[in-house]
Structure 1
């Protein structure tokens, strides 16, 4: 098994309540849309830090920080491009706060996000809080809103089996206690397109996840994103299948094979639905790749035990 990166302790001295850490790579225009709302909610708080971690962009995110940061935003500049997952680990390491929010540079939060998530994390036993989110396009138009997984805010009782089957978390909609990152480790570098899914499942196996039944974050889908590139080739589904065994290893052994079968079945549905959407949009190449991956996932279901390791 690949080694899980270690997250060093942040130390207790002058520890802020919040760390909003924004990984950014060639998304300066979107970063300019995200920063004002973060500052509006946390800019006046002495117990919050806001950090932009630039992965060696060439579109000058420092200009956005200088223009909009109000002296409250710290920029950490990468000398070379590390890639998304290594940058996430760098973000968590940079964070000093009790509550860590990794807000990708092309995503956004809605008014009330930090208040609601802080209230959800009042119980120190909670390792993370997840809210509902909107999927938006490049221009900010809402495409989809994630559903409620429980009525009202409270502990997500079946978070672990739910996460193990599919990634139900939009990355701007989760806040993680830094202590939990220190205890479970960082994002796995051997899962370049599924590291977040594995992380959420690992956290759910570690302690309580609180579900916040409010729409408070916005996840941007656009053609320039890494995810869109993966969809065009079917690599998103292939990586998902490769990760299923690792993700489901966090489920109790007696439920592992059944969970793998459910995860594969969901992969068939996911890839098939994506194929239909891409076909309706006239993207026949992507539709074909997704349809082929759906068929491949279906063929793997009888072999689910082999994927449990």
Structure 2
């Protein structure tokens, strides 16, 4: 029977611990589960809640920090110093696993020793709403070459994983390390890509692997300075992956860097353009977003998003929110024409 170490960091979320720990220990028949709760010096009664759970179940251990170490240091402590099962999960105290999630993930990892980590679909839910029903009947799985998956992430320019739905092979985690302390907001993206550079990636199809709690603060994602910070953090994550990917040929690293930088430039310009659509140019750092795009991709002025931004600038902040549907429709039509023209020049069809 495979063993799974579940690390649950906690800071002021003691009232969620019973649900989180319970999801890792119940309805996971077929794997040997052990849980560590790490309380990062919570000022409330979170440590007491953790100790109550440990007293009630011998599979639960508790570690309490005397002083706050921060989330990344806490994650790495559990992942690199404590976890000793075949596989490891990092589960936030306010998230949950779905029934059978660990069993399904372990089955894939058992069957494919070349897979470094496996993930599935996460269900998002609001703190004040009941849990949505989870799909738990297996729909099979896919195993992708790690470098292929890595290239997909560079083409997309963003991650596709929230975190609680991931199960990692512990040996690979120890070999490649944990979260990069330089990346407080994008360390998870970097770590999954770093793993994919060294191992294949598994995906569980047609099932829900975790519940990801969306709090009110994160439900209304900021349209303001946070947009620029998000892009900067993502770029830092991709740069860090390439920094560590010494096993990739230099030509591949250069190509991947050019791919993601172009994508991030397009995203920055699109966010700047949307500020005009929404009448928020006073709040959104438009000039800084354009400067970020220029730093990522020197030929940014040739990107279609820059053309769209120029149109919006000519129309102006006051008028653009009213004309936005017409401009977006015209822009989409123009983009389709450009794609057709390029295809015709290449193929004559």
Cα distance change of structure 1 residues 259 and 53 upon mapping to structure 2, 3 Å threshold:
same
2:183 is the counterpart of 1:183: no
Displacement after TM superposition at 1:237 (Å): 2.2
Structure 1 pair 242–125 and aligned structure 2 pair: CA distance change class (3 A)? closer
Are the equivalent residues in 2 in contact too, given 1:223–1:229 (CA < 8 A)?
Answer: no
Residues 145-156 of structure 1: pairs in structure 2 closer than 5 A: 152-156=140-144
Are 1:52 and 2:52 matched, yes or no?
no
Q: How many residues align?
A: 280
How many angstroms does 1:137 deviate by? 2.9
Q: Which residue of 2 aligns with 1:9?
A: none
- Could you tell me whether the CA contact under 8 Å between 2:119 and 2:209 is conserved in 1? no
User: Hey, what does 2:27 align to over in structure 1?
Assistant: 41
Deviation at 1:210, TM superposition (A): 0.9
**For residue 221 of structure 1, what is the aligned residue in structure 2?**
214
Query: Which of residues 290, 296, 300 is equivalent to 2:295?
Result: 300
Structure 2: gaps (5+ residues)? 300-349
Q: Higher relative CO (CA 8 A, sep ≥ 6), structure 1 or 2?
A: 1
* TM-score in terms of structure 1 length: 0.76
In structure 2, the partner of 1:159 is 149
Cα distance in structure 2, aligned partners of 1:141 and 1:278: 34
- The alignment partner of 2:196 has SS state of helix
Q: Is the 8 A contact 1:274 1:287 kept in 2?
A: no
Is the contact between residue 2 and residue 106 of structure 2 (CA under 8 Å) also seen in structure 1?
no
1:269-280 mapped onto 2 (5 Å cutoff)? none
Given the two structures, how large is their TM-score scaled by the length of structure 2?
A: 0.68
Cα distance in 2 between the residues matched to 1:197 and 1:287: 28
Q: Is the 8 A contact 2:125 2:131 kept in 1?
A: yes
Please name the residue that 1:6 is paired with: none
Select the residue among 113, 116, 128 that pairs with 1:124.
113
1:18-33 alignment to 2 at 5 Å? 18-33=4-19
Q: Indicate the larger mover: 110-119 or 256-265.
A: 256-265
Structure with bigger helix share is 2
- Where do 5+ consecutive residues of structure 1 fail to align? 1-14, 146-150, 305-309
Correspondence 1:1-309 to 2 at 5 A: 17-42=3-28, 47-69=32-54, 70-71=56-57, 72-92=59-79, 93-122=81-110, 123-140=112-129, 152-157=140-145, 158-164=148-154, 165-213=157-205, 214-223=207-216, 233=226, 234-249=228-243, 250=245, 252-268=249-265, 288-289=284-285, 294-303=289-298
TM-superposed CA distance for 1:218, in Å, is 2.1
CA drift of 1:182 comes to 1.8
Q: What is the RMSD computed on CA atoms of the aligned residues?
A: 3.7
Report if aligned partners of 1:140, 1:220 keep a CA contact under 8 Å in 2: no
